[in-house]
Amino acid sequence: MSTVGSIIEGASRKPVTLATLGGMASRGEPFACLTCYDASTARLLEQAGVHLLLVGDTAAEVILGLPRTIDMPFEVLLALTAAVKRGAPHTVVMGDMPFMSYQASADKALENAGRFLVEGKADIIKLEADASFGPLVKRMASAGIPVCAHVGSKPQHVALTSGYKAQGRTREDADRVLHDARALEEAGAAMLLVEAVPSEVADELVAKARVPVIGIGAGTACHGQVVVLHDVMGLLEKTPGLADPVANLGPVIREAAMQWVRRVAERDFGGKTFRMRE
């Protein structure tokens, strides 16, 4: 039985670890990743057989209603990460280092990454990086902190790029993305994530990498694929189109809420009732 078939057993499934994902990558078995931000949803996603849950800084937008991912508060994301791990204890949980939680100093970055593992119960942390972050990644790895290095398009850099833009679309830019990935892997990154690059670039990156590579908007060659949960479940009115939705739950939730409004208006909402004791 394949790894995929053997893990879809709900809460009793065999725990998925970083080693599990490494084995799947080496055997050419794709692994599924989704963002997640709460324990109840995490439980359902684990039961569905999702291999990795990313507690992303996209929570700033889809959970907190903030306009940008860089507005994500560190302490809130830390709490959400722990919640997801409690809901999905047999799934790899990746904590996303929010903006300015690792850029100011190496000492603070190491402390914050450690907090994600200890307080956030994360199995691995992710940071947006280029080759210049090699020494930091090496220091984290030496301290026993698994790192996923995020290359390609980096949402925390939208102020520099005047918005979300694909990367690696020229040979020079593609070489830069590949150089960043190689340098960060050599520094000790346990995993790579590449976002919004042409499939040819991702193909070359995967062919050279010795660690699992997660893609988002980067073709089909990556070992794992991740997308924002709200996008793929049809919970938002507008999505970036990085993957086709697998459901359209927005209207379902709206209709259920409308039924509740009607039932309350009719004083016919059912449920448990209580009586006075004699």
CATH of the domain at 134: 3.20.20.60
pLDDT at 165: 85
For residue 265, being part of any structural domain is answered with no
Q: What is the pLDDT of residue 47?
A: 97
- The reply to whether 102 falls in a domain is yes
In a domain, 266, yes or no: no
User: Is residue 105 one of the residues assigned to a domain?
Assistant: yes
253 falls within a domain = no
Residue 273 lies inside a defined structural domain of this protein: no
| pLDDT mean for each 10 residues of the chain (278 residues) | 45 86 98 98 98 98 95 98 98 98 97 98 98 98 98 89 86 97 98 97 98 97 97 87 88 96 92 87
- The pLDDT value recorded for residue 3 is 47
pLDDT of residue 13: 78
Contact yes or no for 68/61 (Cβ under 8 A) = yes
Q: What is the pLDDT of residue 12?
A: 62
User: Which amino acids are annotated catalytic?
Assistant: 195
User: Considering only CA atoms, which of 114, 122, 63, 127 is closest in space to residue 89?
Assistant: 122
Find the Cα–Cα–Cα–Cα dihedral 220, 177, 69, 80, rounded to 10°. Answer: 70
Give the Cβ contact number of residue 226 at 10 Å.
Answer: 26
Residue 72 in contact with residue 98, Cβ under 8 Å?
A: yes
* Domain-located, residue 276: no
Q: What is the rounded distance in angstroms from the CA atom of residue 215 to the CA atom of residue 140?
A: 23
What is the domain count for the chain? 1
Residue type, 45: L
CA distances from 186 to 131, 142, 183, 201, 258 (A): 10, 13, 5, 19, 54
Q: Domain range spanning residue 207?
A: 3-248
The whole-model pTM stands at 0.93
224-225 and 31-35 beta bridge pairing: parallel
